[in-house]
Amino acid sequence: MSQFFDEMTNGATEPRPLYDRIAEWLRVSPPALLDSRREQAEILFRKIGITFAVYGDKEAAERLIPFDIIPRLLGRDEWTRLEAGLIQRVKALNMFLTDIYGRQDILRAGIVPSDLIFRNECYRPEMQGHSAPHDIWTHIAGIDIVRIDEEDFYVLEDNCRTPSGVSYMLEDREMMMRLLPGLFSQHAVLPVDNYPDNLLASLRSVAPPHCPGDPCIIILTPGQFNSAYYEHSFLADKLGVELVEGRDLTVRDDVVYMRTTEGLKRVDVIYRRVDDDFLDPLVFRPDSALGVAGLMGAYLAGNVTLANAPGAGVADDKAVYTYMPDIIRFYLGEEAKLKNVRTWRCREPDSLKYVLEHLSELVVKEVNGSGGYGMLVGPHASKEQIETFRQKLLSDPDGFIAQPTLSLSTCPTSFPGGVAPRHVDLRPFVLSSADGARIVPGGLTRVALKEGSLVVNSSQGGGTKDTWVLATNAK
């Protein structure tokens, strides 16, 4: 028997009732059927061009993220609990950011140490003393969720800057409806395809007050060589807005314009998929060619809304993460509905000592890292890798946190010639707008395709699954 919580069987011989039909389908489907569906999916994904770039991998400039055709299921009761926790968490994150760049009550109260904020690379002093329109900083948040048992959801990581993956959530659903329409219709799956409408409504709600009627909304992309370019173009298409690059924009008298075939057109809301550092060469990195000179001036003058707001990254830092239960309690007076994974802050001497003594059991992450780069998975690491990390930790303890190697839940996953359980996580997307939060029931399920692997990041060989939130309860 497995030591992991398997979402289909939970270690029993009979499936959990939620998975009855999936188990039956897997039992009666010949392996060749699964193989052919998987191959069909790959051909379709290539044709649509759903690819991503892997930095540092020149050969595979455009690679497919492997797609697994066995869906991952959640019951309505499970989703309701998760949704409430997500809304609570993102509300607190936005309040935290308003406070940090405003009155800084939480620092004065000694709940979060000041140096954690001010020495943070993602803290933007340029934003200090400024508010974000409607006090929303992270309009689109991706919260990474894991399960280790049937009861609880744990937050692994908050992504408040430019979380990606929502296009996979939507395309995976299209693929499932196309490839396995029978299986799909046997389940009452709650729809996700209103996400683009919700996103558009959220972006409209935060348009600057000067805007008379229809705000001009655009998506700002670093361009087609960015790893998430497909998603940028996908969203622009679904929203019906222009997909622009920095060179398409110009700022005059603190107003942002885009260059069109009819001359300059005023821009009101920018859903930017360009990192803070590259947004405006006058304020941030002077060598950036991806942004627009003067953009921050226009933003601070209130003439354009940036989503997500510059500086939002200070809230998704892995060191700030460890304070989330306190942050939620401080602003909302509530206990966190979603649990945090036990985390050692290497900046604290006792924790550092413990971490150094248990490197081979722990997962060590860079506080500012993302995408699974620069992390140590102790149980899978070689002696040299552990030694390298020991040195890194000793020279910069503030830069790291450590977590136990989680027993991530597994879901049945299809391979050439068979089906086996693989570890999964879940990234739901939370939209914050002037009139409240919106979440579509579902998210991106990422799956670690390598046997035993716990790293689900697409840049590290992870794949995706469609996530079905059913109208029926798990229990």
Partner 1 sequence: MLARTADNIYWVSRYLERADFLARLIEASNRISALPTAYAAKQDEWTSVLIASGADETFPEHFDVANEGNVIAYLAFDPRNASSIRNCIEFARTNARAVRTALTVEMWEHINSAWIKLKSFEGRNGEPTAIDREALIGFLDFVKETSSLYDGFAYRTMLRNDVYYFSRLGVSIERADNTARVLDVKYQLLLPEHEPLGGSVDFFQWSAILRSVSALTAYHWVYRESIKPWNVADLLILRPEMPRSLISCYGEVVRWLDAIGNQYGRHGDPQRQARAIKRKLEGASIKEIFQSGLHEFVDGFITDNNGLAGAIAEHYLLG
- Which residues contact partner 1 (rule: CB under 8 A)? 46-49, 223-224, 229, 233, 236-237, 242-245, 247-248, 258-262
* For partner 1, the closer CB: 58 or 383: 58
* For partner 1, the closer CB: 113 or 223: 223
Taking a C-beta distance cutoff of 8 angstroms, is the pair 293, 251 a contact?
yes
Q: Extract the tokens encoding 14.
A: 């009979």
By DSSP bridging, strand 462-469 and strand 67-74 are parallel
* For partner 1, the closer CB: 22 or 244: 244
* For partner 1, the closer CB: 236 or 440: 236
* For partner 1, the closer CB: 45 or 400: 45
Concatenated DSSP letters of 227-278: TTHHHHHHHHHHHT-EEE-GGGEEEETTEEEEEETTEEEE--EEEE-S-HHH
In whole angstroms, the minimum distance from the beta carbon of 90 to partner 1 comes to 28
In whole angstroms, the minimum distance from the beta carbon of 382 to partner 1 comes to 38
Q: Extract the tokens encoding 363.
A: 């997962």
Q: What is the DSSP letter of 435?
A: T
In whole angstroms, the minimum distance from the beta carbon of 224 to partner 1 comes to 5
In whole angstroms, the minimum distance from the beta carbon of 222 to partner 1 comes to 12
| Cα(284)–Cα(276) distance, integer angstroms | 7
* For partner 1, the closer CB: 79 or 229: 229
In whole angstroms, the minimum distance from the beta carbon of 49 to partner 1 comes to 5
Q: Extract the tokens encoding 69.
A: 């055709």
* Opening angle at CA 91, ends 86 and 97, nearest 5: 125
| Cα(304)–Cα(206) distance, integer angstroms | 10
| Cα(433)–Cα(138) distance, integer angstroms | 9
* Opening angle at CA 73, ends 71 and 79, nearest 5: 140
From residue 418, how far is each of 7, 99, 423, 434 by CA, in Å? 18, 52, 16, 48
Concatenated DSSP letters of 314-367: GGS-HHHHTTHHHHHHHHHSS--SSEEPP-EETTSHHHHHHHHHTTTTEEEEET
Q: What is the CA radius of gyration of the chain?
A: 22
* For partner 1, the closer CB: 49 or 379: 49
The answer to whether the Cα torsion of 248, 251, 256, 260 is positive or negative is negative
In whole angstroms, the minimum distance from the beta carbon of 307 to partner 1 comes to 18
Taking a C-beta distance cutoff of 8 angstroms, is the pair 278, 284 a contact?
yes
* For partner 1, the closer CB: 108 or 259: 259
In whole angstroms, the minimum distance from the beta carbon of 437 to partner 1 comes to 27
What is the identity of the amino acid at 51? T
Q: What is the DSSP letter of 198?
A: H
In whole angstroms, the minimum distance from the beta carbon of 110 to partner 1 comes to 49
